[in-house]
A and B are shown apart, each in its own frame.
Chain A
């Protein structure tokens, strides 16, 4: 955490967008030096989410996914925890029928 903070230039912002289960250790000097900020951000509003989807449609952006069956979910969780997925599992719900 402090390592990443120290990469920021003056007035730079480190934005947290995930929520690890344990609190993060941060030292004060990373902020004092170069007037840096620590911030957070959660998803986006409905209008912004639609704009993001439309932007993806215009630019051909999708996630790189590995499609799994619903029955593989427990195995997928274990692989996710080992970062063994490039880069997102997606469940094909036809497998639930």
Chain B
């Protein structure tokens, strides 16, 4: 489906064009080569089903860098100015007149999408991320309320339809929760889809924002986890403890790592079980 048709379909799903806006502070990139800098953006005044969120924390995803620098030009060309950020945790500042799910002060979160058509087979099945008419990304997506593209979480506030807002369990640290909205769900969803759990063995490649969440989820689901990483990533005591009993496959980087036996591929060495 063309971008124009996609925008039209999404707009038809939410025909309310909202003229009233308020001003929010943000950080934006003006071009693929520009540094991120302070910027002022309009946010729509909350509609009947919207939630206005005061953003407390926003995670920094590699997607932010790809988008800001227009590195995904062939699939998702960046429209400037670009305000990235899709790992958002904040407090509800206002709710729309018909809002049912949230009240002022609730700790909430917003991830990578802020709308979808709600009618296609994927949406009906709760797989809005695979919306056949195109989900609306939290940033650099077609804004079906204001003209232009959506602006993300590098901002002091955001307004989102309550159906695309998540509730944050009160026990969780808000800063540590923010990355769950992209890194967390991006790893937990495929682990669940491919039934990774007790009695199954899973390999996680890389120990970055996604990889470290993948290890945590796979272990919590009861799987045998094998991590492929550069051992230099695993020096902090807290980390060693977090990955206790995780088997590691590390590139031959450091002499201090004692190998127990060769893995099947020569450029990798299987290291002993990390214990604390």
Which residues of A line the B interface, CB within 8 A? 3-4, 6-8, 13, 15, 17-19, 21, 39, 41-50, 52-65, 67-68, 70, 73-74, 76-77, 80-81, 83, 85-94, 96-97
Given the interface contacts A42-B129, A63-B209, does A88 sit within 8 Å of B60 by beta carbon? yes
| Interfacial chain B residues near A91, Cβ < 8 Å | 57-60, 85, 154
B106 contacts partner chain A, Cβ-Cβ < 8 Å: no
Given contacts A6-B265, A47-B126, A92-B57, contact A61 B216 (CB under 8 A): yes
**A35 to B116 alpha-carbon distance, docked (Å):** 35
Assess the B190–A15 pair: CB atoms within 8 A.
yes
Q: In the bound complex, do residue A45 and residue B126 qualify as a contact, i.e. CB atoms below 8 Å apart?
A: yes
What are the residues of chain B within 8 A of A90 when measuring CB–CB?
57-60, 87, 175-176, 178-179
**Cβ of B154 and Cβ of A19 under 8 Å apart?**
no
Which of B5-13, B165-173, B254-262 binds A? B165-173
Assess the B236–A52 pair: CB atoms within 8 A. Answer: no
A56 near B169 with CB under 8 A, answer yes
CA distance A49 to B187 in the complex (A): 11
How many residues from B make CB contacts under 8 Å with A?
89
Interface residues in B174-221 (C-beta closer than 8 Å to A): 175-190, 192-194, 203, 205, 207-213, 216-217, 220
Give 29 CB contacts A-B under 8 Å. Answer: A4-B205, A19-B66, A21-B66, A21-B71, A42-B130, A43-B182, A45-B125, A48-B126, A49-B166, A52-B184, A53-B177, A56-B180, A57-B169, A60-B172, A61-B217, A65-B59, A65-B179, A68-B60, A83-B208, A85-B209, A87-B207, A87-B213, A88-B179, A88-B212, A90-B60, A90-B176, A91-B57, A91-B154, A94-B56
Query: Which stretch in B14-22, B42-50, B107-115, B140-148 binds the other chain?
Result: B107-115
Given contacts A64-B212, A92-B56, list 11 more A-B pairs with CB under 8 A.
A17-B190, A39-B190, A46-B166, A48-B126, A57-B170, A61-B220, A67-B175, A77-B68, A88-B209, A93-B55, A93-B155
Chain B residues whose CB sits within 8 angstroms of the CB of A43 once the complex forms: 111-113, 129, 182, 185-186, 189
Interface of B is mostly: mixed
Say yes or no: A63 contacts B59, CB within 8 Å.
Answer: yes
Q: Roughly how many angstroms separate A88 CA and B182 CA in the complex, as a whole number?
A: 11
State whether the Cβ of B30 lies closer than 8 Å to any Cβ in chain A: no
Query: Assuming A43-B113, A53-B180, is B60 touching A80 (CB within 8 A)?
Result: yes
A70 to B152, CA, bound (A): 14
Across the interface, do A96 and B175 meet the contact criterion of CB distance under 8 Å?
no
Of residues 117 through 154 on chain B, the ones whose CB sits less than 8 Å from some CB of chain A are 125-130, 154
Given contacts A77-B65, A92-B175, contact A64 B188 (CB under 8 A): no
A27 vs B124: C-alpha distance when bound (angstroms) = 37
Chain A minimum-CB-distance residue to B90: A93
CB distance from A51 to the nearest CB of B (A): 9
CA of A83 to CA of B192, assembled, Å: 27
| Contact between B156 and A52, CB atoms less than 8 A apart | no
* Top 6 closest pairs, chain A to chain B, by CB: A57-B169, A62-B176, A44-B189, A63-B179, A41-B190, A89-B60
B residues within 8 A CB of A60? 171-172
B228 on the A face (CB < 8 A):
yes
**B43 nearest CB across to chain A (Å):** 14
